[in-house]
Structure 1
Amino acid sequence: MTRSPEEISHALLDAARMAGADAADAIVIEGSSISVDVRAGALEHAERAEATDLGLRVFMGRQSSIVSSSDSRAETLTAMAERAVAMAREAPEDPYAGLADTTQLSAGWNIETLDLVDASEEPSPGALQSDALAAEAAALAVKGVTQVSDASASYGRHEVHLAATNGFSGGYGRTQRSTSCVAIAGTGTGMERDYDGDSRAWQSDLRSPEEIGRTAGERTVALLNARKPETGSYPVLFDERVSSSLVGHLLAASNGAAVARGSSWLKDSLGEQVLPQGMSLIEDPHRPRISGSRPFDAEGLPTRHRAIAEDGRLMGWTMDLSSARKLGLESTGNAARGVSSPPSPSNWNLELSQGEKTRADLLRDMGTGLLVTSMIGATINPNTGDYSRGASGFWVENGEIAYPVNECTVAGNLREMLARIIPANDARRYLSRVVPSLLIEGMTLAGA
């Protein structure tokens, strides 16, 4: 008889106790997915996957180990537990390791309020293929598009359950429906490519494949005949498609694990100004139908609404239990983990304060500079915040887009950059990271 993720997780804990573990936690992820790729009007690839993955972490005092498997038979669970205990006995002690106290555990959550599971039927392979073909056809209908390298549609449903010997037991499910398209225009060295895509928890929220394909095609054609921009100091407008990467660098520097290691350019900046006054960065893991939502973290602690930065000032670190113990603080309920890895700090849904001006207003205000729509590579010094990334997009003259540009580098220092960002009002509120286009004056461009 097939067992549920909850039953398997508790069976793992029983096996760990029988093997002699002092404490243990188990995570079980059960899921199925189906994806379809088309090319040139025909099916190119179709794949269906179903799996149940198990992870067991055991503690022998302050020594610990992790084992994982995709086999949930009783004899496998016993073997996993015995191996984990044997490994833990040989592991070095970690004074910060251990499960949460019972007083810290999440209780009484209402998973229904998060609305993470679409109750409608799983789409058929034929329906997914139709969506992918519609996206491809819409992209090819855009004048100048020569081919579509990839048009895809997919669906997935997953259940996760976490249980531990400290008494915690909880689980939830989520669905995901996606459509994407990559278009190509031009030939030879003048070839350009761009994309569009959408991913939602609910099928009914997904943008149409026709819109996705058309947008991918229009974005691609707009990049034709690109050239290198001038080298110098110019204002740079990070388009909403890429602006969340700047927030990502702030999050990496405020991650408790990095701070505890001393490898963060924000390590001595609690309470200091890291964003302009009036701007805040808020984490909310309880937004309905959003991919980053969850009722508890990977250590069974409640997730909560909190300000990472408020009125521009850094309010705190993002921590799991281990990093919090190292810093002498309390976990913020931000532990994430897979079946074969220990918990580590991670962020959930985020929203950066938006401005009052449109992106067009910021383009007009910047005069001459660069609009960045795509970025590649990254050289970030975690200790100083020095920043350098390859970029492409559009050159702006007299407040209007003049021509596409590529093969340039944008450089600066993250502390200085983030302190002077000017936000637009164009953030997409259905994303897990709600970040508008961001204008930064006086950045260094290396081009022609």
Structure 2
Amino acid sequence: MSEVQVIGPQALPALQQQVEAVLAEAARQGASACEVAVSLGQGLSASVRQGEVETVEFNRDQGFGITLYVGQRKGSASTSATGEAAIRETVAAALAIARHASEDESAGLADAALMARELPELDLYHPWTISPEQAIELALESEAAAFASDARIKNADGSSLNTHQGCRVYGNSQGFVGGYASTRHSLSCVMIAEDGGQMQRDYWYDVSRQGELLADPASIGRRAAERAVSRLGSRPVPTCEVPVLFAAELAGGLFGHFLAAISGGNLYRHSSFLEGALGEQLFPSWLTLDERPHLPRGLGSASFDGDGLATYAKPFVAGGELVSYVLGTYSGRKLGMPSTANSGGVHNLFVSHGSEDQQALLKRMGRGLLVTELMGQGLNLVTGDYSRGAAGFWVENGELQFPVQEVTIAGNLRDMFKQIVAVGSDLELRSNIRSGSVLIERMTVAGS
């Protein structure tokens, strides 16, 4: 096998041939079943800082992930080499691991009858013909706009542009081989404001499947500068229990924790506070969480999961009730349940929302804390206890009063989910989880 030289939809047939060759080699060496994932990608990254070019990087890589089964024994190995000798050696290595592994009654491929048959076109591939010089120019434009927007912007942590295109093909010995090409482009700016001896740092960014649809570089720079300046004069607040409003760009993290808690791996390991919660009312009755994997150009879109099963639209929460776990073939077997075609995760989670934007939610909150930054990893998934460093703005009478830092917000996710008062209409579209700002009725804010 030779390395594939092109990237894009035109590379998929050659990659599929490579996958089929690996499957044939695995069978030749005595594996009872095999699955292979091959990825091919290349990208350009350019970063600047204070008007100077810091880095320009071009990368290209290809790799195979091979998993073999000998009965109920599993072995995995990977390689970045594409030659026939390297593939033979990698298959042999995976086979040796499998033969020494313990038997696992849940191990093995998904049933052949469940494999995806039709793969919808999701319009994920939009290459951006941008040169390193053009990438540098866009990053410099973003940073320059930030410096020009406010005299208190004294320094920069840098602006960067990244563009990537790649292909992925997955196949297994149940007869499934499928692949797709995709692109992802982003531009970010991080600025530092200084005034009265205090320094504050903040950022802004955009990401898209289509480079031409990224936000204007100058607007990204100005937004980063505005956010940094707005945090000057930050101070802690006394410890209290008040409503907390998570800005939309952070709210997705709350639902990300929820997805982790209902994911099969954590459930069968008994390491989730939502073990056995299927059918329970976990959220207000107006809230729905549903997956939409076939959204054209969606950042999380996929036509098949990591086991080769066809993805499909479905709710995880309906009317506030947990109606489905997040399961792949293996975790489903461990739990005695069918796969939900979520091996590898959830594809485009949508959070139901109302008509109020963030400003309207501030009015509804009245007095409390708007959180715009979170720090640390203070989540115990076994108990649901949540405690993280936070920064943002104190709110009185529905209006921002002053910036806040050096506080900790704490609660339990079970309580936090039930106490969601509203989800805003200001949807975060740069993420696999689409949510607006989330207003929670009450949390502990620990400060001075």
> Who is 1:253 aligned against?
261
Paired residues, number: 436
> Who is 2:445 aligned against?
445
1:45 equivalent to 2:45? Answer no
> Who is 1:339 aligned against?
none
Among candidates 324, 334, 337, match of residue 326 of structure 1: 334
Among candidates 132, 135, 138, match of residue 128 of structure 1: 135
Structure 2: distance between partners of 1:321 and 1:154: 34
For the residue of structure 2 that corresponds to 1:96, the secondary structure is coil
2:3–2:82 contact (8 Å) kept in structure 1: no
Query: What whole-Å deviation, never above 9, does each CA across 1:133-164 have from its counterpart, x for those lacking one?
Result: 11111111121111111100011001000111
**Cα distance, 1:429–1:51 mapped onto 2, change above 3 Å:** closer
Q: Which runs of 4+ in 1 moved over 2 A?
A: 1-4, 428-432
- What letter corresponds to residue 94 of structure 2 in structure 1? A
Q: Report the TM-score, using the length of structure 2 for normalisation.
A: 0.95
Q: Report the TM-score, using the length of structure 1 for normalisation.
A: 0.95
Unaligned runs of at least 5 residues, structure 1: 337-345
Query: What whole-Å deviation, never above 9, does each CA across 1:67-90 have from its counterpart, x for those lacking one?
Result: 001000011111111111111100
1:115-154 matched pairs, under 5 angstroms: 115-118=123-126, 120-143=127-150, 144-154=152-162
> Who is 2:347 aligned against?
348
1:290–1:431 contact (8 Å) kept in structure 2: no
> Who is 2:294 aligned against?
286
For the residue of structure 2 that corresponds to 1:141, the secondary structure is helix
Moved more, 8-17 or 68-77: 8-17
Structure 1: distance between partners of 2:168 and 2:284: 39
For the residue of structure 1 that corresponds to 2:170, the secondary structure is strand
For the residue of structure 1 that corresponds to 2:248, the secondary structure is coil
> Who is 1:88 aligned against?
98
Moved more, 4-13 or 294-303: 4-13
For the residue of structure 2 that corresponds to 1:267, the secondary structure is coil
TM-aligned CA deviation for residue 193 of structure 1: 0.4
Structure 2: distance between partners of 1:5 and 1:187: 55
Structure 1: distance between partners of 2:430 and 2:240: 36
> Who is 2:435 aligned against?
435
For the residue of structure 2 that corresponds to 1:186, the secondary structure is strand
Structure 2: distance between partners of 1:259 and 1:312: 20
TM-aligned CA deviation for residue 122 of structure 1: 2.5
1:11–1:77 contact (8 Å) kept in structure 2: no
> Who is 1:173 aligned against?
181
Moved more, 183-192 or 271-280: 183-192
For the residue of structure 1 that corresponds to 2:149, the secondary structure is coil
TM-aligned CA deviation for residue 214 of structure 1: 0.7
Structure 2: distance between partners of 1:47 and 1:425: 38
2:287–2:318 contact (8 Å) kept in structure 1: yes
**Structure 1 vs Structure 2: percent identity of aligned residues?**
38
> Who is 1:341 aligned against?
none
Structure 1: distance between partners of 2:135 and 2:32: 48
1:393 equivalent to 2:403? Answer no
> Who is 1:340 aligned against?
none
Structure 2: distance between partners of 1:347 and 1:353: 16
Unaligned runs of at least 5 residues, structure 2: 5-13
Structure 1: distance between partners of 2:297 and 2:197: 42
TM-aligned CA deviation for residue 121 of structure 1: 4.6
